[in-house]
């Protein structure tokens, strides 16, 4: 932990203002030693290193802050050929939509691809890019847990339709969901017949 604190920019073990972590996650608050101990235990329990645990905590706090009274959010959709791709790790690119929840409007749309390519491991990359909500057809447990760990809301069972239609239906509470299209997943977003998404 001491060596990692040096990399974070702290002058002493378990203290100092940590400016960035390995993934360049901005953070300028003082971290309590008790919090670091909790993160260390969390890292050991879930088989991740302490730096990843710290980054998860920072991103979770950042995303939680955004949800509190924040009307502008970033929705991400795994996409192929202008439509939602049913399998998260097999899409051609990720579509990022900045939206106004209050006005139910799309403010900005972008297409992005991780430098290392797209896979189920892209979940942490999406969180680092400021994703607040991921609308997907299917997703395995691993990327689900990563996104939720970072405070990103995951909505599964979304239909393979035009991207803007997916976003607009979500904003209007009219998005019809089915089961998670990744059949190996143990937990489905819905059960049984089609239903509407309410956020």
pLDDT tens sequence across 13-69: 334 433 334 444 455 556 666 667 777 777 777 777 777 777 777 666 665 555 555
Residue 176: is its pLDDT beyond 60?
A: yes
Q: Same structural domain for residues 167 and 109?
A: yes
Q: Same structural domain for residues 85 and 10?
A: no
Residue 183 is predicted with a pLDDT of 53
CA distance 135 to 88: 10
Q: Same structural domain for residues 9 and 88?
A: no
CB 154 within 8 A of CB 148: yes
pTM value is: 0.61
Residue 192 is predicted with a pLDDT of 35
Residue 152 CB burial class (10 angstroms; 0-12, 13-18, ≥19): buried
User: Among residues 51, 67, 83, which one ends one of the domains?
Assistant: 67
Pairing of β 195-196 and β 176-177: antiparallel
- List the one residue out of 81, 75, 73 whose CA is nearest residue 162: 81
Residue 185 phi, psi (nearest 5) = -70, 140
Residue 48 is predicted with a pLDDT of 75
Number of compact structural domains in the chain: 2
Q: How confident is the model at residue 97 (pLDDT cuts 50, 70, 90)?
A: very high
Q: Same structural domain for residues 53 and 119?
A: no
Positive or negative, the CA dihedral 90, 43, 49, 59 is: positive
Question: Looking at 51-55, 76-80, 159-163, 168-172, which range is the least confident one?
Answer: 51-55
CA distance 169 to 152: 19
Residue 37 is predicted with a pLDDT of 75
Range of the domain at 9: 2-67
**Domain CATH for 145:** 3.30.420.130
| Contact residues for 72 (Cβ-Cβ < 8 A; gap 6+) | 98, 99, 100, 101, 107
């Amino acid at each position: 932990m001491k060596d990692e604190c040096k990399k974070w920019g702290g002058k002493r073990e378990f203290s100092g203002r940590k400016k960035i972590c390995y993934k360049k996650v901005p953070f300028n608050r003082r971290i309590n030693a008790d919090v670091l101990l909790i993160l260390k235990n969390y890292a050991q329990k879930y088989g991740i290193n302490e730096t990843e645990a710290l980054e998860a905590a920072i991103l979770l706090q950042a995303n939680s802050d955004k949800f509190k009274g924040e009307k502008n959010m970033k929705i991400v959709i795994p996409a192929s050929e202008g439509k939602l791709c049913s399998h998260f790790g097999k899409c051609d690119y990720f579509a990022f939509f900045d939206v106004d929840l209050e006005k139910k409007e799309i403010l900005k749309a972008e297409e992005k691809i991780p430098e290392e390519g797209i896979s189920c491991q892209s979940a942490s990359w999406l969180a680092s890019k400021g994703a607040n909500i991921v609308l997907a057809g299917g997703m395995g447990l691993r990327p689900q847990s990563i996104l939720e760990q970072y405070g990103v809301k995951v909505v599964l069972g979304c239909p393979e339709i035009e991207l803007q239609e997916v976003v607009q239906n979500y904003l209007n509470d009219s998005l019809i969901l089915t089961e998670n299209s990744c059949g190996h997943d143990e937990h489905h977003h819905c059960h049984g017949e089609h239903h509407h998404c309410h956020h």
